[in-house]
Structure 1
Amino acid sequence: MVLPEVSPKSELRAHIRSVRRALPATVRAGADRALAVAAADLVRRAGARNVSAYVPLDLEPGGPDLVPALAAVAERLLLPVLLDDNDLDWAVYDDTFTTGRFGLREPAGPRLGPDAIGSAELVLLPGLAVAEDGTRLGQGGGSYDRVLHRVQAPAIVLLYPGELVPKIPAEPHDQRVCGALLGYDTAHVHWTKGCPIPHHWHSEYQSANDGG
């Protein structure tokens, strides 16, 4: 029997998922709390009123604290709604959820359309890894590659330590992100070469654009 060839991307996905599953629950919970606090602080520092984020699944950074933390500092928080073609619609979070495809928790408010993401001033999104050049490794469904085509604002992926990597095999459809928010007990932003670092953050955050 000939086994199917496994791509480098699939191998990296499997490795990161395995590492995340092996994290003790207490360690992951502490990391999620730190990431939620740091994400809210990032919104404040950016002066972003319209923010888009996500509802973390099991093993996705941010945990249950992420959405409440962001809702407390953003005037308007957009959360995703999974469509039948795996594209994402958006709705404003109003403290209520409904159940969507595959049992996903989704905002209960009116759907605004896939292009609503273009109004966000800061985009926080999930991922499995980010490379120094801004290439993002997602779960493989392609939803956020479509989303990032519509994004005008800095896009930052929440990650656990060890998930910022030197290189990720890129494909033509892959969209680059501006940075990664990483941390366990504390969290920090690492800017990639995916886009220019906003000028007012140059003195505060490490940037691949500066050779850091």
Structure 2
Amino acid sequence: MYANPVENTKSGLRNLIRQQRGQSKSHFDFNLITKSPEFIGAKVIGSYRSFGNEPATEILNKLILDSGKQLLLPRLQDGFGIEFCNWDGELMNLRANGKIEEPIGATFHGKIDLIILPALAVDTFGNRLGQGGGSYDRALGRVDVFTIALINENELVELVPSEPHDQKVRAALTPTRLIRF
């Protein structure tokens, strides 16, 4: 059996970005999201709780809740799928699942207006490089929703290797810019 050259390239890019992320922390201007028409018009927003050296989402999630929006966080399912669940901002309503904290409670089955998601890199076409499990690709393949990936400035790259199952994002937020694709 031959190795998949696209996956090998993705793996190398993931390793490089993880090493670079360990060397610096960026501060994001989340007003670039909260003042966007997609955020203003949204009632239900999916976000995530960052861990490790991912761009921090604590302030962003507080802004979502303080604006009166319904905040959803992802919860991993068997088979590496994602389901979104309500979160009220209370730490006691989370539980640890490996490295990430997930909301407890019922799965949300309504319409999500905006999803803010993690990425290791995004290219100028909206191709997103995730951690490699494919969870977000599977979830986003089932819905039509505006997506914004959070990345550091140097993680906006010329080209992310992509495969047919990879889902593009519609925008990326760097510390200083909201870039639409």
TM-score scaled by length of structure 2: 0.86
Q: Which moved more, 1:10-19 or 1:100-109?
A: 100-109
Unaligned residue ranges in structure 1 (runs of 5+): 193-212
Equivalent position to 1:155, from 147, 154, 170: 147
How many residues matched? 174
Deviation at 1:43, TM superposition (A): 6.7
| Cα 1:190/1:92, change in 2 over 3 Å | same
Alignment-derived partner of residue 59 in structure 2: 65
Larger relative contact order, structure 1 or 2 (CA cutoff 8 Å, min sep 6): 2
RMSD between aligned residues: 2.1
| Cα 1:142/1:121, change in 2 over 3 Å | same
Alignment-derived partner of residue 105 in structure 1: 101
Kept after mapping to 1: 8 A contact 2:45/2:112: yes
Deviation at 1:37, TM superposition (A): 4.0
Kept after mapping to 2: 8 A contact 1:145/1:174: yes
Check if 1:129 corresponds to 2:118. no
Kept after mapping to 2: 8 A contact 1:124/1:158: yes
The CA distance in 1 between the partners of 2:65 and 2:165, in whole Å, is 31
- Same amino acid, percent of matched pairs: 34
- SS state at 2:14 partner: helix
Deviations 1:112-157 (A, max 9, x none): 3xxx3x6111111111011111110000011000111123221110
| Cα 1:9/1:155, change in 2 over 3 Å | same
Deviations 1:3-40 (A, max 9, x none): xx8811111101111110011xxxx2x51xx3444333
The CA distance in 2 between the partners of 1:62 and 1:120, in whole Å, is 22
TM-score scaled by length of structure 1: 0.74
Counterpart residue identity of residue 10, structure 2? K
Alignment-derived partner of residue 11 in structure 1: 12
The CA distance in 1 between the partners of 2:164 and 2:72, in whole Å, is 27
- SS state at 1:190 partner: strand
Equivalent position to 2:48, from 34, 37, 54: 54
The CA distance in 2 between the partners of 1:58 and 1:68, in whole Å, is 19
Check if 1:179 corresponds to 2:178. no
The CA distance in 1 between the partners of 2:145 and 2:105, in whole Å, is 23
Deviation at 1:82, TM superposition (A): 1.1
Alignment-derived partner of residue 180 in structure 2: 191
Unaligned residue ranges in structure 2 (runs of 5+): none
The CA distance in 1 between the partners of 2:78 and 2:97, in whole Å, is 8
The CA distance in 2 between the partners of 1:9 and 1:78, in whole Å, is 29
Counterpart residue identity of residue 9, structure 2? P
- SS state at 2:21 partner: helix
Counterpart residue identity of residue 178, structure 1? R
Alignment-derived partner of residue 41 in structure 1: 35
Check if 1:139 corresponds to 2:131. yes
